[in-house]
Amino acid sequence: MLTISGDLLDRIIRAAEDALPHECCGLLAGRAGAAPGETVVTRVVPSANVSEAKREDSFEVDPQVRFDLMRALEGTDERIVGHYHSHPGGPAEPSTTDLKMAYETDLIWVIVSVKDGRAADVRAHGVADDRSAFHPIVLNRAD
């Protein structure tokens, strides 16, 4: 289960809507939650989409943003727990391109579906250890 505050989730949704017609992206920092298997998001760190491919259907987090976040998290109980991106006009489900880019199986993928200029759905996904598929993760909005 991934738990995220309403404020942080709303920031991701706004970023997805504002990035149209491109995909937005960013990193999620967090820590283990109280419930077994729970991850709690503590920070949402936006990034420019630096993909060299068509940004309408691909994303890449700026490596400098990741490096800076890793440095900021040193000595804390937080770590990078995942990232987020949007699918303009598509579902909140991982694409075949997403699966090809799923190198780190411990990271959670949050995907925002944006249709007609508005966020239509938000879902969380994990990656199988062998990188063969994604699986759904319960997304818990904590208000």
> Domain 2-142 - what CATH class?
alpha beta
Number of C-beta neighbours around residue 135 at 10 A = 9
Q: What are φ and ψ of residue 67, in 5° steps?
A: -60, -45
What is the residue extent of each domain of the chain? 2-142
Please say whether the beta carbons of 73 and 109 come within 8 A: no
Per-residue pLDDT of the chain (143 residues; tens, 9 = 90+): 999 999 999 999 999 999 999 999 999 999 999 999 999 999 999 999 998 888 888 899 999 999 999 999 999 999 999 999 999 999 999 999 999 999 999 999 999 999 999 999 999 999 999 999 999 999 999 98
Q: What is the pLDDT of residue 57?
A: 82
For 10-44, b where at least 16 C-beta lie within 10 A, e where not — what string? ebbbebbbebeebbbbbbbbbeebeeeeebbbbbb
DSSP tally for the chain: helices H, then strands E? 3, 8
Q: What is the pLDDT of residue 76?
A: 96
Would you state the structure tokens that stand for residue 96, as one six-digit string? 């075949």
